[in-house]
Structure 1
Amino acid sequence: MSGDDSRPVHTRRQGLDPADELRAAGTLSRITIGSGADAEATWLATGYAVVRQVLGDHQRFSTRRRWNQRDEIGGTGMFRPRELVGNLMDYDPPEHTRLRQKLTPGFTLRRMRRLTPSIERIVTERLDALERAGPPADLVRLVADEVPGAVLCELIGVPRDDRAMFLRLCHGHLDASRSQKRRAAAGAAFSRYLLAMIARERKDPGEGLLGAVLAEYGDTATDEELRGFCVQVMLAGDDNISGMIGLGVLALLSHPEQIAALSGDDQSADRAVDELIRYLTVPYAPTPRVAMEDVTIGDQVIKAGETVSCSLPMANRDPALLPDANRLDVRREPVPHVAFGHGIHHCLGAALARLELRTVYTALWRRFPTLRLADPGREPSFRLTTPAYGLTSLMVAW
């Protein structure tokens, strides 16, 4: 696979669709990521069945990375970099099982219901800001980039007065367009804040995720694990939802006949949200899997020690999942897509993501029923350096 785009093949997109290079790949093929001394051969899985097989088989396909000797994993002889401690995507059972169980109290249906009024308030505040700014106004800057972080602060339990600083440090740490030195400095400050917050929560657990985990597992959850939990929650829930809000609005404005589904009953709105999640699939790929033994898939042999990257956008556009997978249809019945992953690493916050997106989309069109692109002839600007696909801006009018 070749081309001028220097990004890894599995992260390339064309508008709302996967790139031609991905479409040209077979369901399982060999690719090279990087160049020169950093070049690394890996397998790329794009077929729905293959992606499900790899992600669903945690015994033969591990998420363990190649550790350096900074933090030993007790008694195993393996070492885990400090920044990955507590990140569920970098654990296999039984460690994964133990840690995921600790996070579960923060994502119960009861807790999601308690969060709903806060999410509605946050969305209303951002739509107020959109209305004050326009028309025209940038929906990405005023809504898509603001709602997810505010919701995650509410989820974790970050004090309101600290949220602007907390998000600034978080974004500085995750921003791949910044220098490594600046990212490291922001990451160190972000970690210091989290550890100080964890110390406060241990003394007096609050109503957020940290408080819930500490109330249930305070004696066994380490500070580093809790810090890692928070980093993972921010990484998984910020860029992904920001990308989905902006791209979802663009997709609906490109298919105006489908917008009415959002004003129907909850079931219709939920169906629309699930189809948008499948169709857009903003995460490029989950953590690469490492084969623990030789595995035969079709006529290909993945040898022990080789890695497999799974293209979630391509798997969700596979005709094996549904015949017209490249068409957006918010009225179709949900299908078992892999936008939230599959197997033991299926996204713990999937219910929160759906709730958040439904709240944004329905409130947006209820508030601005004549919403439209401010300049329909202008090519949208897509972001390319963030962990998930999205837009850098989307100017709208009403």
Structure 2
Amino acid sequence: MITTTSNRTEELQKKLVAFMDDYIYPNEKLYEQQLNEADTRWIIPPIVEELKEKAKDQGLWNLFNREEGYGTQLSNYEYAHLCEIMGRSLIAPEVFNCNAPDTGNMEVLMQYGTKEQQEQWLYLLLDGKIRSCFTMTEPDVASSDATNIQSHIIREGDEYIINAKKWWSSGAMDPRCEIAIFMGKTDPEGPIHEQQSMVLVPMNTPGVEVKRHLPVFGYDHAPHGHAEVHFNNVRVPVSNLLYEEGKGFEIAQSRLGPGRIHHCMRAIGAAERALELMCERVNSRETFGSPLAEKGVVREFIAESRLEIDQARLLTLHAARKMDEEGTKAARKEIAMIKIVAPRVSLNVIDRAIQMFGGAGVSDDFPLAAHWANARTLRIVDGPDQVHLRDIGRLELKNYQ
């Protein structure tokens, strides 16, 4: 496969693979053990902070960043190769400070934040000292269409007054979550894509209330978690506005492009690990007088998985390179395509692996069930499949009009 990268990226790949082998996989069980033994699951396990320091020491920190002056400055295409490696473990992204939604929030602050906003929040996020959340989705409207957002941002003098109900705010359960990027309407009567704005809201602001935790297929995703958050007459200074009023939709679109590359490559990493586990399993188990690896259907499972993973990877890398060379808008169709393909492939491969593991596959003894649940959510987050299919069809038809 033609997936050539720079010498620097290849060196980072080698270091990242070694780090995963030496520190991440061996500590996955310890991570869960420390979570379960704590008084509350909403406290970061000590092993994570230990591993973060090791990652910093090895130069494996903030690898996601593309902006000049903030670290590695890898392109989307270069970082995609690293993101796949991190996606093989659900605990890995935070260890390298490459976890969502913090990566997207940091990118927003880099591109649109004022110097004061960056000094107050960005540098703490880049150093891994605090965490953040992104509050856009609402329970009372179909949030797959961001123009449906009903949250109110009303200016009164030098303050904004915010009222809203948000949910699926990933990271809001984490006690280290200190800042939210909030999206709501400042001009409900304006042009449909210029009604929304984004405002920085410290989580300790009076009126911000984390109402409840939202599990995913029974997984609490602690200590990160997902929450329903209410904003009741929350007041923040006008200086907390990101960019300009009416630019919220524009900011969201710029944020989602790279984020979709990250999600897809992590999903491919999860699929690759599932295939490895499946191959190891079928070589070590025997049924009806012969190893599982000798069964025709098992070899078909493995072959189909390899085909799908490599196709999804190449398509995602193609989208990443097009983003780098032509911009996010030019790569809109390719980004929509991978957002459909990568989660589907990941689910297919993980499901086959679960089948080969039998009862063990749906247990917590192996990472397959948790990875499957995570991959299934990707068919919804950052836009459901149906929205992307609509866009792909429309963009394809334009070629024939």
Judge same fold: TM > 0.5, yes or no.
no
User: What TM-score comes out, normalization by structure 1 length?
Assistant: 0.27
User: What TM-score comes out, normalization by structure 2 length?
Assistant: 0.27
More relative contact order in 1 or in 2 (CA 8 Å, sep 6+)? 1
